Amino acid sequence: MDELVASARDHWAPRFTANGVPVGDFERVLGKVENWSEWCSEWSRAAALHEALGDEAFADGRLSSAGEHFSTAAAVYHFAKFVYVVDPKQMREAHQSAVRAHEKGLPLIPHPGRKVRIPFDGAELVAVHRLPDGEGPFPTVIMLSGLDSTKEELRSTEELFLQRGVATFSVDGPGQGEAEYDLPIRADWEVPGRAIVDELEKMPDVDPDRIAVWGVSLGGYYAPRFASGDPRIKACVSLCGPYDFAENWDNVPQLTRDAFAARSGVTDAEDAREKAHGLNLAGRTELIRCPLLIISGRKDRLIPWQQQQRLHDETSIVSELIMLELGNHGCANVLAEHRYRTADWMAKQLAAVAS
């Protein structure tokens, strides 16, 4: 196993199975892949098997099973492409497959989803909107992925909000997923955030007075930055997000640095570092007025816990910090210690707004 494959396994292994990759697939693929050049193709082959099972189930009229197979295929295709920027053509093919499988599954899963396209800066932000049971309008949480994640990875987290009566709106923003080919990463997330909330306010199923935002990893920077610039956000969750993304730059995996450069539209390493430094909450934290939940892991090697501690220290009037002693990046290795609690917290905050 070469250094890059080992790095992907060591930094992100729990995240795969936490977000939809079957354990058996994880073990089989990692047992085969010895060189990074094989990563995308081997994961894509594993995903194609799930998509074929979905097609077979759909043809047989077994629609619930088809939805689950397609959702699994989308997650596995996603991890074929997630930081595989060494071969943009192969990466994009895997990503298109993830989008295709996801779209096949959306109308078939519990709490079906629909795609929403939001015009932005000459291109589009693409989102998936899912509604809980009951009658709307519903409180709604905008869900933001990180540097190497997309809306196709978020289903397991969406489900927890939906079970608590909160609609989800999972978005590929600038530099992410379906938007990453036309829109580079940007620091001023209150700007795309404003376009997202403007779109939500048009929807009859959305309660415009109960809109919140949740973000993980780099999305854990986007979410509080978004909240700092839009008073329509009534609650915010930041899961393992950076305060200053460049602060730990020299210690993050090479795969992360390469992915950031590619999705920022730069080619020079120093330009990438400078762009990373622009993703900084200095001067923004005092503008956050809504309740803020911050989750951090002391074993996080990508975004050290001290960055979340700083965010909490500067927003302590409105923020609550959950520090997980064994948590890695994204705390995917200790899900039970934060996922349910986060969903409960969000439901409570949005219910409080209503009352």
pLDDT tens sequence across 94-135: 999 999 999 999 999 999 999 999 999 999 999 999 999 999
Exactly one of 97, 145, 217, 238 is catalytic; name it.
217
pLDDT computed for residue 355 by the predictor: 58
Co-location of 90 and 144 in the same domain: no
Q: How far apart are CA 281 and CA 259, in angstroms?
A: 21
CATH of residue 75: 1.20.1440.110
- pLDDT single digits (tens) 132-157: 999 999 999 999 999 999 999 999 99
Co-location of 139 and 270 in the same domain: yes
pLDDT computed for residue 296 by the predictor: 98
Could you tell me the end-to-end alpha-carbon distance of the chain, in angstroms, rounded to an integer?
56
All residue ranges of the chain with pLDDT < 50 are none
Co-location of 101 and 139 in the same domain: no
pLDDT computed for residue 172 by the predictor: 98
Of the residues 72, 94, 109, which one is the last residue of a structural domain?
Answer: 109
pLDDT computed for residue 354 by the predictor: 67
Co-location of 83 and 165 in the same domain: no
Of the residues 94, 109, 124, which one is the last residue of a structural domain?
Answer: 109
CATH of residue 117: 3.40.50.1820
Q: How far apart are CA 158 and CA 151, in angstroms?
A: 10
The model carries a pTM of 0.96
Co-location of 262 and 200 in the same domain: yes
Domain containing 224 equals: 112-355
Co-location of 74 and 149 in the same domain: no
Q: Would residue 145 show up in a list of annotated catalytic residues for this protein?
A: no
Burial class (CB in 10 A: 0-12, 13-18, 19+), 281: buried
pLDDT computed for residue 353 by the predictor: 78
